[in-house]
Amino acid sequence: MILIKVNPFYPEEEKIKVAAKAIRSGNLVAFPTETVYGLGADAFNENAVRKIFEAKNRPADNPLIIHIASIEQFFEIVDTEQAKEIENVANKVWPGPITFVAKKKEGCKIARSATAGLSTVAVRMPAHPVALALIRQSGVPIAAPSANLATKPSATKAEHVFEEFKDKVDVLLDAGNTFYGLESTIIDITRNPPALLRPGPFTVEELERIFGSIEVSEGARGLKTADVPIAPGMKYRHYAPDKPLVLCDKDKIAKAIDDAKNKGLKPILLVSNETASHFNGVDAIALGSEQNMYEIAKNLFDALKRLDKTDADIGIAQTFPERGIGLAIMNRLRKAASVKD
Ligand code: TXA
Ligand code: MG
């Protein structure tokens, strides 16, 4: 792997050129976006896209997001009618942490495996200067899932990517921490009203202002129900630390600690600064202040990854109000905690 440190705000052209060359040669490049790190390949190159699935150990029926750097590229891959309908909105919200699932343009050059053979395509124009520079310099849209092994928490810094992919990725662009720390909001615009498939930094409140109304299913909140129209990837296990993680309301934490201790298990808390100081004496990974939910979002995946490196036997995470970015935080926490109990 070639590891390249790059300025997050003023990416150095010669460094971006090295990464863009790797993309054009059909190789994998891990790069920062404003949400999480992505594991990218030339979206037009079938062989290159397959390498992503292999490296991540990702099921072939879970499609990727196509990253673009211009509205022209949007029109190249999305059905013209649909692209025209959404163009104004797209210009308003992009570049930014929001992905549209739209009708795919017939005969477009996107590799079949990138969309898992679906007739729709997920597209986003990221706001991170390094991501935009890389897409522009490559001259092609970049297919990229989050740069983590399947089922694991997403990568919010280059070290996370390095740990999991050092032998599997050709170039890693290290621009430090990502800005939001949670993956983009995904909205399905082929439906009326548009449906939220995954909550993210672009909030439901903002979406409602743009679209009038949107559909928010239980599935999008991370709750399990039978009839949820959700992103294909959502049926898979997600964000799971190796250690068990219990999610509970603040007023149940004391009991969860006792329960763990009674079973001879050493607990560690994944909670806000405020909650951590309430339970001083118990090990804790503090996520940040409840006064700033964006800080908690930013630290969440790193905390989930750190949990596995502690000597604790079980993590106890607190719930947060599902407003604003809180909805996305709770979606990730529920998925991280849901498997084990
Ligand atoms: O912030 C992000 O979105 C990051 C950065 C790298 O851009 N990317 C990311 O990709 O989170 P990934 O692959 O980890 O998650 C993409 C989700 C998956 O759950 C996938 O199932 C869904 O998008 N998806 C992709 N194409 C879709 C489609 N055509 N219809 C419905 N869901 C789709
Ligand atoms: Mg992912």
Residue 169, CB half-sphere, CA atoms under 13 Å: how many? 30
CA 104 to ligand 1: nearest atom = 29
pLDDT value at residue 231:
58
User: Nearest to residue 186, comparing CAs of 157, 155, 148, 229?
Assistant: 229
- Average pLDDT over the chain, rounded to whole? 94
Residue 333 neighbours by CB under 8 Å, 6+ apart: 222, 247, 300, 317, 319, 320
Distance 51 CA to ligand 1 centre (A): 17
How far is 307 from 300, CA to CA, in rounded Å? 11
How far is 101 from 194, CA to CA, in rounded Å? 10
By the 8 A CB rule, do 31 and 134 touch? Answer: yes
Distance 122 CA to ligand 1 centre (A): 7
Q: Does residue 36's CB lie within 6 angstroms of at least one atom of ligand 1? A: yes
Closest residue to atom 19 of ligand 1, CA basis:
233
Closest residue to atom 3 of ligand 1, CA basis:
184
User: Where are the extended beta strands (E) located within the chain?
Assistant: 2-5, 29-32, 37-42, 65-67, 98-103, 120-124, 142-144, 171-174, 185-188, 195-198, 215-216, 245-248, 267-271, 284-286, 314-318
Ligand nearest to the CA of 151: 2
pLDDT value at residue 339:
46
Residues of the chain scoring pLDDT < 50: 226-229, 339-341
Transcribe 76-115 into DSSP letters: HHB-HHHHHHHHHHHHHH-SSSEEEEEEBPTT--S-GGGG
pLDDT value at residue 222:
72
Ligand nearest to the CA of 52: 1
Distance 175 CA to ligand 2 centre (A): 19
Residue 117 neighbours by CB under 8 Å, 6+ apart: none
Write the pLDDT tens digit of every residue in 75-91.
999 999 999 999 999 99
pLDDT value at residue 340:
43
Which DSSP letter does residue 184 get? P
Q: Does residue 144's CB lie within 6 angstroms of at least one atom of ligand 1? A: yes
Structure tokens at 235: 């049926």
Residue 326, CB half-sphere, CA atoms under 13 Å: how many? 14
Q: 């390949």: which residue's tokens?
A: 41
By the 8 A CB rule, do 154 and 239 touch? Answer: yes
Domains of the chain are 2-216 (3.90.870.10), 245-340 (3.40.50.11030)
pLDDT value at residue 218:
77
pLDDT value at residue 238:
79
Amino acid found at 323: R
Q: Does residue 118's CB lie within 6 angstroms of at least one atom of ligand 1? A: yes
Closest residue to atom 21 of ligand 1, CA basis:
233
pLDDT value at residue 57:
96
pTM: 0.95
pLDDT value at residue 236:
65
pLDDT value at residue 341:
41
Structure tokens at 191: 């439906």
Q: 């662009």: which residue's tokens?
A: 173
